[in-house]
Chains A and B, each alone.
Chain A
Amino acid sequence: MATTHSLTPAMQRQRNARLRRSALYLALLAIALVAPFVAYPVFLMKVLCFALFACAFNLLLGFAGLLSFGHAAFLATGGYFTGIMLASYPGLTPELGILIGTSAAVVLGTLFGVVAIRRQGIYFAMVTLALAQMMFFFFVQAPFTGGEDGLHGVPRGELFGLISLADNLNMYYFVLAVFVIGFALIQRTVHSPFGQVLKAIRENEPRAVSLGYNVDAYKLVAFIISAGLAGLAGSTKTVVFQLASLTDAHWHMSGEVILMTLLGGVGTLFGPVVGAGLVVSLQTQLAQSPLGNWVSVILGAIFVICVLSFRSGIVGEIQKMVRKNFK
């Protein structure tokens, strides 16, 4: 048929793009595999946890057009549940603890989602913020979270009861595996039939309705996936640092993930990873320098510059340049 003929260049280009993407992923994975021999593994694990958190947040903002201002609640819920389970049941292996924490975040995400999804734009952000604040006060008051002190001494344990995670290198490769699984799920979600509908809703919601899609149901599913992955990031972080604290539940954390995502490039798959890496590096570097007290001011200034001058974020701008020069 004539139509199949005209299909070929498009499919060819898509195939090339896919190949290029796979090559890039493999290169990055190779770098990640040797990274702990060059850099401090605990720092790298922190970056990976926040990168996963930011990617989860970006799935919602970048691909469904929903700005949640309460994602700290999912990070913290994952962290606390994992921490409590691992601390109270010494026989529990870390991967099961993480699974429980993630499930708790999924349940919470479903509850939040059902309430928040009915509202749009700024109201959606406000509802998620309010719900997250409720969770914050719950974590402050609850007898089992350690209140202001947080939950200390969570054992890292042995993965599948076999591999000791007390060793930082083992721990690192486990965190890397968690990150890769989370990232792969996001990448697949974005490039799935579901992702297509999500994109359509982001681009033009009334039109998606008029095509017969129940848009609220799609948004809810996206919200739950995002919450679950944020919980996964929090759970993993708790195992790494053997600590779950209120910092993760505070609204600062909800703001920080927005910063990471926008800085790196909202709506790009890799933007949040770059953003998280940058923010965590800056925080770590600045905390050791005489500018330690100025971390928030410096991050704030960077954020303002980013929003004013390169709005699509670092990865977004690079993509634009590539598209312009190598068309």
Chain B
Amino acid sequence: MTQAFILETRGLTKEFRGFTAVDDVNLQVREGHIHALIGPNGAGKTTVFNLLTKFLPPTRGEILYRGKPITGMKANEIARLGLVRSFQISAVFGHMTALENVRVALQRTLGTSFHFWKSERSLDHLNERALELLDEVGLADYADVLTVEMPYGRKRALEVATTLALDPTLMLLDEPTQGMGAEDVDRIVELIRRVSKGRTVLMVEHNLSVVSRLCDRITVLARGAVLAEGDYQEVSRNPQVREAYMGSEAAEEEASA
């Protein structure tokens, strides 16, 4: 039974000097799903995210990847297992071209990344694959552009391409549509849907319309604890969830529906 879950937490807890940011969270992410982590501001979504990706050490609890504990591993080690995260603020390498951004992800598996005596031309054979990945996210024309000069929405797409370069089994996306205009949001939603084929996605997301369109399963967090879990219909009908979201988007949407 546990085999079906690619990622699982048991009693995951994080305390900051007496303040419990994440409280006994048991999360189960099914293989192949797009799973959303939602909740009002300050619910602890990003903290959970940082715990899962090892950017923060948990106070208590366990994290399992395909049934094996990964609680004690380092952030760069879990990336090698195939759990790759994105960041809330677009995480790109600004003074490198879009192509170089993707290539730096591709080059890791070559095992030559410490070779300071080798020419960077030894990486040229990765360019083709890098261009394919850029093409996949609609950035083929930007290959030569320095990333700092790209518009925000394109940077996020580039981030996805870089993540895909590692061929992750589990993608962890931290608010992928944060700060985007409607047009960009649609493009990213399409992109996530497309790249999630054959992978599992866990995303933190504020935009409920994105969640309703994309996600198979939703976990609602409030004050650091799990408030509800289910598909969009179940969760949006839950009275506790509606209360937690009162005055925010869910209630508005309900009213306009």
Contacts and interface: CB of A to CB of B under 8 A. Distances in A.
Interface in A195-210: 195-197, 199-200, 203-204, 206-210
Contacts of B124: 11
Contact of B104 (A6, A185, A197, A221): A197
Nearest to A215: B76
A218 B104 CA distance: 14
Interface in A6-36: 6-7, 9-11, 13
A10 B99 contact: yes
Q: Which of A189, A207, A217 has the most CB of B within 10 A?
A: A207
B168 to A, nearest CB: 10
Contacts of B225: none
Interface in B139-176: 140, 143-144, 162, 166
Interface string B123-134: 110011001100
Given A7-B128, A193-B110, A207-B92, A212 B143 contact: no
Main secondary structure of the interface of A (DSSP, over half): helix
A199 B166 contact: no
Contacts of A7: 127-128, 131
Nearest to B97: A10
A188 B117 contact: yes
Interface residues of B, number: 48
A211 B105 contact: yes
B61 to A, nearest CB: 21
A211 B166 contact: yes
A199 B80 CA distance: 20
B191 interface: no
A293 interface: no
Given A6-B140, A199-B95, A207-B92, A213 B113 contact: yes
B131 A192 contact: no
A207 B80 CA distance: 14
A209 B79 contact: yes
A210 B84 CA distance: 6
Given A213-B108, A221-B114, A207 B76 contact: no
Contact of B75 (A4, A193, A210): A210
9 contacts: A6-B140, A192-B116, A193-B113, A193-B120, A196-B96, A206-B55, A207-B93, A214-B74, A221-B116
Interface of B: 53, 55, 74-77, 79-80, 84-87, 91-96, 99-100, 103-105, 107-108, 110, 112-120, 122-124, 127-128, 131-132, 135, 140, 143-144, 162, 166
